[in-house]
Amino acid sequence: MNRLSDWLHSFAPAPTVISSRERVRAAIGAFAGIALTSAVSYWFVQDTNAIPYLIAPIGASAVLLFAVPSSPLAQPWPVLGGNMLAATIGVTCAMWITHPMLSAAIAVGLSILVMLYLRCLHPPSGAVALTAVLGGNAVHALGYGFVIAPVALNSLIIIVVAMLFHHSTRHAYPHVTSKVKRDGLNQKIPAELRFGFNTDDLNEVLKENNELLDISRDDLEKIFQQTEMHAYRRRFGEIRCQDIMKKDVITVEFGTELEEAWTLMRKHNIKALPVVNKSQLVIGIITQVDFMKNANLDVYDNFEHKLKQFIRRTAGYHSDKPEVVGQIMSSPVVTANMHMHIIKLIPLMTQQRILHHIPVLDDAQKLVGIVTQSDLVSALYHGRVANIKTLGLSS
């Protein structure tokens, strides 16, 4: 009896995790999409007795476009390309295969195969193929004209409406996947700051499962990374930037001479100086890398001589080389709020190839400290150790 009960419970739908506001937004979007698609198509077709101005599968497309707009199945190319391909295949099957059952089956199966190869899989397109075969005399009389109107016409209009609707409600559509090669980015992230998995791990798992998922690969990776960040936050507790930052920050201004800035770095044994204005607002940051890059020190011949020549102030008022900090500083600069959890520093420190120092600001956007990569690694390590000891004591 328990097995039967468990088996029946396995069919229960999983709870929907989106808010009520998002559900209402999806419903309003679908209403607007179908209403406008119907109205514009009706106006464009004119003779609705000869050409149907709206096809039923567009209702299914509306569900995807407005309820799950981030789905790979709901993007413009799958909607337009999938519907038009399925319509073309359906019309062809209806013309050449006289038996409607066989024609319908071949049309749907062939449409799926072609859509998969052309990367435009769109579930409602299966219904488009069926409509082309079983739509009756009105559809058959249109021939390949059915592909243009109403199929392509309906598809184009609802895509445009979806773009406008999502933009007006501040949601991203189309859902653009990252063009950056994740492998290259992953190699730039220091080993001690990487998450528990990398791009290669995810790719291998997806290959092993060999199953099409209704989520883009980049979105899946993003969800995993955000989940790990939440897990880290739960394990390490509420450790914030203000708890680990260095508060006695040595700063310079835009007009500070390069020689003075370099001397400050050497004297205090630091590798970066935030650049602030008179209101203590951060306008940039200057690092040892900035000195090396601008002094052309990538070649190590005469290293010390080149550096001295670069930082030494030029006599007179005119110079072809940089003279002050503001001329070589990095700007704009990545910053963190003092109340930010340290886990959120990890993606900040991996946004760029070399970003080992992050100025920390208060709620008034004024500089109150600085966090280095070493500070972050130390905090993560000690937080983990403290958590293990706490769990050990509690057990």
For the chain, 395 residues long, give each residue's pLDDT as a single digit of tens.
677 777 777 777 777 778 899 999 999 999 999 999 999 999 988 877 778 899 999 999 999 999 999 899 999 999 999 999 999 999 999 999 999 999 999 999 999 999 999 999 999 999 999 999 999 998 999 999 999 999 999 999 999 999 999 999 988 899 876 544 444 444 444 444 455 566 677 777 777 777 777 677 777 777 777 777 677 666 666 788 998 899 999 999 999 988 888 889 889 999 899 999 988 899 999 988 888 777 665 555 555 656 666 666 666 555 567 888 888 898 888 899 999 888 788 777 765 545 688 999 999 999 999 998 888 888 777 655 455 444 444 43
Nearest to 77 by CA among 162, 132, 151, 159: 159
The number of folded domains in the chain is 3
Q: Say if residue 142 is in the same domain as residue 209.
A: no
Query: Strand locations in the chain, DSSP E?
Result: 272-276, 282-287, 336-337, 357-361, 367-372
291 within a domain of the structure (yes/no):
yes
Is the pTM higher than 0.85? The answer reads: no
Q: Say if residue 351 is in the same domain as residue 378.
A: yes
Q: Say if residue 250 is in the same domain as residue 345.
A: yes
Q: Say if residue 380 is in the same domain as residue 357.
A: yes
Distance CA(159)–CA(69), nearest Å, equals: 11
Q: Say if residue 273 is in the same domain as residue 383.
A: yes
Segment 365-368 long-range contacts (CB within 8 Å, at least 24 positions apart)? 365/281, 366/279, 366/280, 366/281, 367/249, 367/251, 367/274, 367/276, 367/280, 367/281, 367/282, 368/242, 368/245, 368/247, 368/249, 368/338
Task: Return the exposure string of 278-308: e unless at least 16 CB atoms fall within 10 Å of the residue's CB, then b.
Answer: eeeebbbbbbbbbbeebbebeeeeeeeebee
Classify residue 341 as left (phi > 0), alpha (psi -120 to 50) or beta.
beta
- What is the predicted pLDDT for the residue at 162? 97
CA dihedral 57, 63, 68, 73 (to 10 degrees): 0
Decide which of 111, 146, 168 is a domain's last residue: 168
Distance CA(363)–CA(355), nearest Å, equals: 23
Q: Say if residue 287 is in the same domain as residue 195.
A: no
CATH number at residue 284: 3.10.580.10
Decide which of 134, 168, 202 is a domain's last residue: 168
Q: How many residues does the chain have?
A: 395
322 within a domain of the structure (yes/no):
yes
Q: Whole domain around residue 247: which residue ranges?
A: 242-392
Classify residue 296 as left (phi > 0), alpha (psi -120 to 50) or beta.
left
173 within a domain of the structure (yes/no):
no
Distance CA(37)–CA(66), nearest Å, equals: 14
Q: Say if residue 282 is in the same domain as residue 375.
A: yes
Q: Say if residue 25 is in the same domain as residue 160.
A: yes
Q: Say if residue 308 is in the same domain as residue 341.
A: yes
> Could you tell me the two tokens for 209?
């499962």
- What is the predicted pLDDT for the residue at 128? 97
